[in-house]
Amino acid sequence: MTPPPDPQAAADAALADVLASQWQGVPAVVLRSPPGAGKTGVAQRVALQSAQLLDQRCMVVTQTNQQAFDLTRRLTDNARSFPIHMFAKSGLNIPDDVASLPNLVVVHDVASLPRVPSITIGNAAKWSRIGTPERRFDVQIVDEAFQLPDFKFRLISNLAPRHVLIGDPGQIDPFVNCEIERWRCDPSGPQVSCPEALVNRHPSVLQLHLPVSRRLNADTVAIVQPSFYPNMPFRAMSYDRSVGFQVAGIMPFDAALDAVASGSSIVMVELPAQITGEADGELAQELVASIHRLLMRGPRMSDDGTVSEVRPRDIGVVCAHVSQVNAVRERLGPGLSHIFVETANRYQGIERPFMFVHHPLSGRADATAFHLDAGRLCVMLSRHRIGCWIFGRQGISEQLMRFAPAGNRTLGIDDDPEYRGWQAHLTLMLALARSNRMHPAVHGLVTSTASVITE
């Protein structure tokens, strides 16, 4: 039996398959990617090949302006002198570093779109305002495609005859601001992401996946992949990522910090069981105190061979609700203002060396579909490069068993998102318990902000 290729060889082979599909003129490609697999980099390579080697007009679709700005920065740098067009609304506040790029051309109307081999970047909302049946481009690349609902994709799919849909199927599902009951039996309904709907309509469409995560280490992949990607195996790239402390652990909470330093990249810190509802000030205080303790111990991290001190900007906090975000921000203080604290929706596409997670089910008396959502928890547990600490109340596993969903599948639809989320949560909790990654919280942890490293 031929041994499997090393992670880098597997990643290179997957990229070669995607690029080859464009030379072969494949009409549609769905590329699935695990967290941190470099899917935006693949989108860049496909776009540059399309415009510079195949002499095609290429349009790139993003979901937000921020994604468009980030992709523009990367493409203008890699394309050297080749002009990169940005299709944006008039009056859009473009960041100074983007607006000043020498090979960037900003266009605001359809008449100004290039008619020669080119790359044009814009968000889906802007592209949808082109009211013409004319094919303006040769190929359309959709970045973060699993966040684009199918009805929005249909508004722009006519702009090019060929499509490359790239995204992470484990992330949060598209947001649709309406009742979807009338479409629950439709596998191509407007609530379905465009890659899934495209495959439902055309089962023979070429489907590929990236087999390696460049962000997550092997320990994290061993937990995240079975929980959130049971049907899409992937591995971790072989990187040297670790953290060490200059101050030895002497306090009870140090056990959770030392566990990450010993190689357990995801651990859970449990507070005593209590029904708190959405806001939990005690948990927020414990989380912030733990960040203080992390920084007080003089941490030094090795990230892909680069050794440096851990600063507040290297730390992130992710919550399910805005009220939880505000509770953490209020307790951080000005010395830790560089710590990025946000909801899971805002954290998509963002990474930090270290993450602190407010478990979505913590302190609740129920287990609703929102809090069971597999994509939300997957985002929370896949933003870190080195270490992740989950904070929650004791009894989450018992809570899951009490509120097990009935499996309310719709006629003709095999997938039940609520059951899938429940199963992902339960698989995660079992994995943490079996590998001794549960640590008790320490109440009243005394911190000294004067000892904390600040920017």
- Enter the tokens of residue 8: 């880098």
The fold adopted by the segment(s) 218-451 is: Rossmann fold (3.40.50)
Burial of residue 133 (number of CB atoms within 10 Å: 0-12, 13-18, 19+): exposed
* 85 Cα distance to chain centroid: 26
Alpha helices in 24-62 (DSSP H): 39-48
Q: Which of 174, 152, 161, 170 is nearest to 209 (CA)?
A: 170
pLDDT of residue 36: 94
Instruction: Give yes or no on whether 7-210 and 218-451 have one common fold.
Output: yes
Mean pLDDT, residues 275-284 taken together: 93
296 contacts 447 by C-beta, under 8 angstroms: yes
Position 447 scores a pLDDT of 42
3-state DSSP assignment of residue 337: coil
pLDDT in tens, 179-234: 666 666 666 667 789 999 999 899 999 999 999 999 999 999 999 999 999 999 99
Q: CA torsion sign, 350 to 374 to 236 to 199?
A: negative
| Reported pTM | 0.89
Integer Cα distance of 282 and 280 in angstroms: 6
Q: What is the DSSP string of 425-452?
A: HHHHHHHHHHTT-EEE--TT----GGGS
Task: Tell me the HSE value of 119 on the side-chain side, using a 13 A CA sphere.
Answer: 31
Whether residue 31 has pLDDT greater than 70: yes
Q: Smallest Cα–Cα separation from 358: which of 377, 340, 338?
A: 377
Read off the pLDDT of residues 116-159 as tens digits, 9 standing for 90 and up. Answer: 999 999 999 999 998 777 888 999 999 999 999 998 999 999 99
CA distance 267 to 388: 7
Give the per-residue pLDDT at 268. Answer: 97
Q: Which CATH number fits domain 7-210: 2.20.25.90, 3.90.180.10, 3.40.50.300, 1.10.1270.20?
A: 3.40.50.300
| Average pLDDT score over residue span 34-44 | 94
* β-strand pairing of 118-123 with 84-87: parallel
Show me where the domains of the chain are located: 7-210, 218-451
pLDDT of amino acid 372: 93
Confidence of residue 410 (pLDDT cuts 50, 70, 90): low
Tell me if 127 sits within 8 A of 152, measured CB to CB: no
HSE value, Cβ hemisphere, 13 Å, CA-based, for 238 = 6
Give the span between the Cα atoms of 425 and 448, in whole angstroms.
35
Model confidence over 337-386: pLDDT tens digits? 999 999 999 898 899 999 999 999 999 998 888 899 999 999 999 999 99
Note the pLDDT of residue 180: 64
Beta strand spans in 90-245 (E): 104-107, 118-123, 139-142, 162-167, 206-209, 212-213, 235-236, 241-245
User: When comparing pLDDT for 32 and 404, which is higher?
Assistant: 32
- Tell whether the model's pLDDT for residue 33 goes beyond 70: yes
Give dist(CA 242, CA 227) in Å, integer: 23
Which regions of 238-351 does DSSP assign to beta strands (E)?
241-245, 266-271, 299-303, 306-309, 315-319, 340-343
Q: For residue 263, give Cα distances in angstroms to 70, 171, 256, 346.
A: 32, 25, 11, 28
Task: Spell out the residues 6+ positions from residue 166 whose beta carbon is closer than 8 angstroms to its own.
Answer: 31, 33, 39, 42, 43, 141, 142, 143, 144, 145
The better pLDDT of the pair 254, 446 is held by 254
Please provide residue 356's backbone torsions phi and psi, each rounded to the nearest 5 degrees.
Answer: -115, 130
Residue owning tokens 């003129």:
25
Q: What is the mean pLDDT of residues 421-428?
A: 94
The answer to whether 61 and 47 are in contact (CB under 8 A) is: no
